[in-house]
Chains A and B, each alone.
Chain A
């Protein structure tokens, strides 16, 4: 069965630096991969989706890459701010009915 790993449970960086989060999967290449943000005590919020035929996607300070050879997606936040502190989850399609398989998340802390 498909497994997802987000390599770091926690990542601490200084304000202004670029945060890079990693998501690896083990089996079949998914049709798409998604990234979500989750704040404490709240539900996840969708950020970006990248399809299997796309190498890179950008949205404001966010950039996602997708390497089907390495079976890996990287999620970058440039010019990070303390307000970016949250847990970031990656997810990929788990079946034909639209269900997703989620990684356990990486908790990002951006220090002023």
Chain B
């Protein structure tokens, strides 16, 4: 059974803290994505990576950075958390090549910044 796992389901942090969100996939997918999801705004792409050590900015990269040192792992970093980064964070992965391009999502991390 294919799987995308995220390090935490719920996380509470204080303003100014550095926050790491980890995502691991076991499908040998090349592509990995980080989204945030907020009521009324839908899923918004923060960053994505199509290979190890490669990254591309999505629609809302400000305040975030990412790291992909191994194919199966994609980390999202909030350098200095702020209250407006309180959100649901979703990681996804997909296969490159002849396929449906479907994305497999993790269960999400609900982050609260106080």
Residues of A within 8 A of B (CB): 32, 34, 41-46, 49, 89, 91, 93-94, 97-100, 102-105
Within 8 A of A (CB), among B51-98: 56, 58, 90, 92, 94, 96
Are B101 and A32 in contact (CB-based, < 8 A)? yes
Known A34-B100, A34-B102, A46-B104; judge A97-B56 contact (CB<8 A): yes
Are B103 and A100 in contact (CB-based, < 8 A)? yes
A89 to B105, CA, bound (A): 13
B contact residues, total (Cβ < 8 Å): 26
Residue from A32, A42, A44, A104 in contact with B41 in the complex, judged by beta carbons closer than 8 Å: A104
Least Cβ distance of A28 to chain B in Å? 16
18 contacts between A and B (CB under 8 A): A32-B100, A32-B101, A43-B90, A43-B105, A44-B43, A45-B105, A46-B100, A46-B104, A49-B101, A97-B48, A97-B50, A97-B56, A97-B96, A99-B56, A100-B103, A103-B42, A104-B41, A105-B42
